[in-house]
Structure formats: structure tokens, C-alpha cells
Structure 1
Amino acid sequence: MVLSGRFVALAAVGVLLTAWSAAALGLYALALVVALVVDVGLAARIVDLRLARDPVAPVRLRERAATVLVLGNAGRRTLRAVVRDAWVPSAGATPRSHEVVVPRDEQRRVVTTLTPTRRGERTTARVTVRSFGPLGLGARQRQLAVPGTLQVLPAFASRRFLPEKLSRLRQLDGAVLVRQRGQGSEFDSLRTYVLGDDVRAIDWRATARSRDVVVRTWRPERDRHVVMVLDTGRSSAARIGDEPRLDAALDACLLLGALCARAGDRVALVAADVEVRARLGLTGGRDVLPRLVGAVAPLEPALVETDPHLLAAQVLRLTSKRSLVVVFSSLDIAADTGLLPAVRRLTGRHEVLVASPSDPALGRLATTREDPLDVYTAAAAEQAVLARAAVIDQLDATGVHVVHGDAELFASRVADAYLDLKAAGRL
């Protein structure tokens, strides 16, 4: 039994009767308690409710969705209730509660708006129903399990870069052909030599059959393999701004996947730390982005040290053909027990690119020296910056391409690196 605010107000009024007589106060209290018991007895029984939930379509991070709870009254009395459809806090459920009146043998739909603040699966807690009597003095209350799940997809904020990258891709793949043959380029057509063309592109056989000097034109190959590797270990949990490093990597994955799909390349993905968290086999065409989103949406950082040999083994298992392998990890842990062992195994068979979003706060800390504590903090930040630079030098010496930068432009830089390699015929 739950007491309402109306009952509390009436009880407070009864305190005034103490100035009259104790007997009057006793009679008033007895009458109020009897009224409460009768009122609660006349309230609709919660056990007679039939609750169901409509499925909720997936939604992107910080976009709105609506969940509908259907209340059916199979009892003999009209239900006058306050219903709270509770979700986990990160689902952003509003409003907190709903007032409903459901006559017998009828249904009502309770709509709760969800604005999720975290990616992944957001689940319901319990539905709390408080059934009031006709006088509104008290209520029956019960918590019911009505399971529901909201699939929260990555925000894909980097899609704003997609038109620009597609324009550059069209230049590479059609409007502006590659005039110089690079490793792995495909023959496109013959045309007349113009001043500035590379003499190595001259087709001497075609020139012998023509009155003009003829050169070959080349275009980037299609159906290349691009393998994206996500490190989901403890380094991916470090926050850059308001989001973990893993979310910045996922955003870059989606932009790169969309670009690869348009370029005619096939995409694969593996996410792992000490075990494989997600795996997507080689996929091409229109299926790339939907399958990629479905694979990465449930991923969360794990507070364990990543096994670099597991990452390398998974990549080698995914494809034996020479591919572009994009490793999303932290450059802060790429010591001999971190990233370097994995990339050393991969560089012999694949083109490897290591991508890591950097924290702009590190640079600010390194330049702040207002008091002694700031000086120590700046020294630690400067040491971290130097260690990161040393790791980049080690990766460069191994023949690995490195992309790093602020999270705001990180996805764009990864896409540019892919296009640069494609233009150079390195894929």
C-alpha cells in the first residue's frame, strides 16, 4: 500500500483537531484510516493488467526514439494509475511517469521518449504501476517485468566528410585517371601523348601502329581487401573529450567502410582484446555499411591488456590476399608487448596502417605552468608526447603508415590516408 499526497494533506488537517479534543482527533483518524482501507480496496487489481511492449527500431546515438507500453485492463474495475516505464539511465527515458485511466476491457498506450547517451543495447528496468482508488487516498503498487531493448547505433558523425571523400574518389576512379603506373594499378585505356606524361607509360607497340605517340592510362584497382582491426582493450576506454577512444575509432571505421563500398573494395573487420569481440568476413557492395554498423554497435571497451598476437592471427585468418590492414589502437601502448609485435607479423604480407586518435588535452597540459603542480603535470604530459613520438618513429621504421590527430578530424584523416594509398597504387 502506498499513501498519496492527498491522504497526507488530510492527516495534516487532523492535527488541528488536537486543539479541540483528543476524542475528536481519534474519531477523525479512525475515519481517515477506514476511508484509506476502503479506497485501496476499491482500486483496480494490478494482477488483472495485461502488459505488452511494441518493438523499438534501432536508433543512432543521441537521436530520439519512442517506446510504446500497452496496458490492457482485464479486471472488473476502472484502472486509475501512475505508470513508470523505467529504463537504464543511459537510455534517457522521459517523462518519468504517466497518469493513465483504463476502463475495464480496454487498452491504453503509454509512450516514453528515449534519447540514449551511450551506444550499444539499452535495456528496460521494471515497469512500476501504482493503482489508486476512487478517492485517491492510497494505492496498490507493484513492479512488473516487461522486457525491452533499444539498439543504439554509432552516431556516425563523420558522414559529413563523405561527399568530399566521394568526390576525390570519383577523380581517382573516373574523371581523372592515374597517368603513372603504380604498384597494383589496372590498365584503363590508350591515348595520345601530351607534354608532361611519363615516358615509361608509352606503349611502343600501339605507337608503331599509329601516327602519334601513344601512352597507357591506369586506374586504381577495384576489389581490393581492406581489413579493419579494432583494439577493444583497456586503452580504448580512455576518454577523449566526452567519449571513449573506441567511439572515435568506430566513427572512422564507418566512414572508411562507406568509402570502400563506393570504391568497389571488400571490407572485413575484427575487434578483439584477449578474445574476439566481433568479426565480419569480407563484404562488398551495399551490404558493407549495414553489416559494419551491426557488428560494431554492441562493442564496449574491456579493461584488459590486449593480446597483439591474437589481433595478428585473426587478420591472417580473414584473408590471405595482400590487403590494406587498418589497425585502430593507441600509440601510447605500442611497446614490445603492445602494438609492434602485431604489426611486425602483418607488414610482410599486407600494407599496414595504424590509426590512433590523440587527446588534445595532452597538449594543453604540456604548456600550462602556472603553479608547481602544473609544472609536474606538464612534465608528465611532455614525457607522454615524446613517448608517443618515439613509437611513431618505430612504426615508420617498420614500414607502417601512421595516422593520428584530434578526434574531430580523425576519421577524415584515415579516409585521406586510404585514398592516398589508392592513388599511389599501394592497395
Structure 2
Amino acid sequence: MAETSVREEVHWTVTATPAPECRRLDGRVEVDVLVVGGGLTGCRTALGLAEAGASVALVDGERIGWGASGRSGGQANPIWRQTPEELIARLGRNHGERLIRTTLTSAQDLFADIARFGVDCDAVQSGWLQAAHTRRTRDRLRSLGRAWAAVGMDIGELEGDAVREASGSPAYGFALRHAAGGNVQPLSLTRGYARAAIERGALAFENTPISRLERVDGKWHAHAPTGEIVAENVVLATNAYSKGLVPDLHKTYFGLFSIALATAPLSEAQQREILPGKVTISDSRLAIYFARYDRDGRLIFGCVGSSEQVDRLGGFARVKRGLRTVFPQIADIAIERKWAGRIAVTPEMMPHMHEPAPGVLAGLGYSGRGIVMTSVMGPALAARLLGTPPTSCPSRSCRLRRSRSTG
């Protein structure tokens, strides 16, 4: 496996659509809603609010899509790790059934949003293979797939040679095929949502870190080095970068890191054998392996690591070993880039919506399901701020949770 020219560079920054025009905050701005965090959650929330006529300021301390949203594998994985019955047992019937309905349409909603807002993000909806790496996980995946199929999700089972034919990998003997799954260019998706929000009137500021939030006369004042934003409501969409503005919010999740590589483009013959039809795959390991193609036929392969420094603690070495394990027929392929990104994982492996203070909402903790579930969370946060009560949010909302924070 060639390594002499591997760049430590986020691959998506090379192939992404142009960034929307944003500026640094300069002075005082007053809006209905301040959205802190220019990733997928923040951009989709700002888009929903602006489309409804609210005045919105979208702010990021770095650049739009700089964090996990622009560093992920870009897989659209539309299912939880729990069965519908387990969701109801955990969340109660009202929230559980709402989440089940949401999940059944979540991937279709994502790709419909991409079409409706004209987002150019190399979207491919050609299915997702969820592969079992052991006999025990095979039995668990089979039960999971049948439980979701029973409530209406389009899921098929593959065994033996059928798994090899569908994936090109000899490493797995069983897999679920989720027809609605796929993949996107995640940075382009993030930029596309931001651009659509700006076109609908949202203000967008980059390189504008918010250092402090304070409540004055019923409004929130957000302080940045170059100005101030005053808003009736605040959305915190900072995910794994949430330490600082609201006490204890960072204690509701633990941080992990997604480590990935991009190979040289595969030949047409190799692409016909490996992930044919540009299907996406991930497996059942606790620190999963995942793979998909980019638009130019490069294989994007990754796993969960322990540090956002790519080579530390064996992270990149594990990705290379994983590539050899899953696709041994391309073990010697050249690698062009390697990178890492910080992700937030909750104890339940499901995202949270928090209301840590009056007029403040936070959505975070996608636990490896961020591409699809941020498109659920964004509209849910927007709907909540537009007046939908927490007990009757639309089916695309997630369970409302209060953190211990007081704001």
C-alpha cells in the first residue's frame, strides 16, 4: 500500500462546491434567532427558520463546514441500532412511535431536501450495506432488520456469496441492504444548506467565535471579538465542540474521532467488483469500518479512532489494516489523503435535543448517523422555535431532553 505521498488533508475540501460568501461579524446585529455552529445541524436549522420568514444569524468560529460536517465519511445511514420495540421501551410510546415514523422517512427526506433546495453534493442513493463481522452480530443484525422491516422499512437480507457479490468484500457472511441509504459529499451538502439559507435572507458569519452568552432584558446577547449579536432565541449546533458557552452541555456526550483515507481512483473493473453500483457499506464493529466512493471513483475508507491527530495511537494504521481486511484485492492501492474529525456520541447512541435555558435549544450527539439525522434535527429545532410545543412536535423531531445546564 503506497504511502510516500499521502497528504494529511481533508479530501472533501478538494472536491467540494465553492463556499458561500460569508463575512466576519463587524458591529452589532439583532435577529430573531442566533444559530451558533456552521455545520449540518446549524445550516439546516437556519435554512428552515429563514424559509419560514424568521430573521436568522448563522455564526461559526471557523468556516462553514469546518468541523465534523466537512470531515465525515458522508454515509447516509437511515436506521438506529435499536429495534422499534426497544425505542418505545426507552423513550415511551409517544416519543418512540414518533421517532419510528421519523426514521422510516429520514433518508428519503434528506434526498428530497437536496433536490428541493438544489444542493449540488454528489448525492448517490444506491443503498447501504450493514455487514456483520461475527456470527453473534449476524444474529443481532438479522433481528434488527426484521424488526424494522415489520414496521415498513425496505430492508433485505444477504448471506454468503450474495454478500460478496453485493459488496466485493470476502470479510462478511451476512448483511442487511437498506434500499434508501446512500452517500453525499458532506462539505458540499453543508455549504449547500448554508447557501440556501443565505438566499432566503439569513445572515452568515465566519471566523466569528462566540465567547459568551448573557441574558439581558429578556434577550440573549452573544459576544464575539468583533461585535455582538442580540437574539430572542439561540440554537447551539456545535455538537462535539460544545464546551464553553453553556455549562455541562459537553457532559451529555463523549467525543470520538472519525479517521478516513481516500485512495487513488479505482479502475472501472475494480469499481465493478468493489461496492458495485456505488453502494455504501459499514460493518458491525464497535469502532466500525465504513466505505463508499467519491464522484471520481476514489474509495473513501474509514473507522473510529482515539485522536483527531491522524497518526496518533495507531489511528491511520488501523484504517490501513481495515482496508486490507475488507478489500484485500486492493491492498496495495495508493492512498492520496488521510484526515480525522471530532464526533459526538451519546450514551444511548442517539442524538439529543436539549433546552438548557429559556430561549436556548441545542441539538447534538449523532453517534455516527449525522448525515441523515442532522436533516431531522434541523427542521425539529426550527419547528420548536416557530412555536411547536415539545409534546406535539412534527414526526421529524427527536426526543426533547433537558440538560442540567442553567444557562
Q: TM-score range by the shorter chain?
A: under 0.3
Q: Specify which structure has the higher proportion of helix.
A: 1
Using CA pairs below 8 Å that are at least 6 residues apart, which structure has the higher relative contact order?
2
Bigger CA radius of gyration: 1
TM-score by length of 2: 0.27
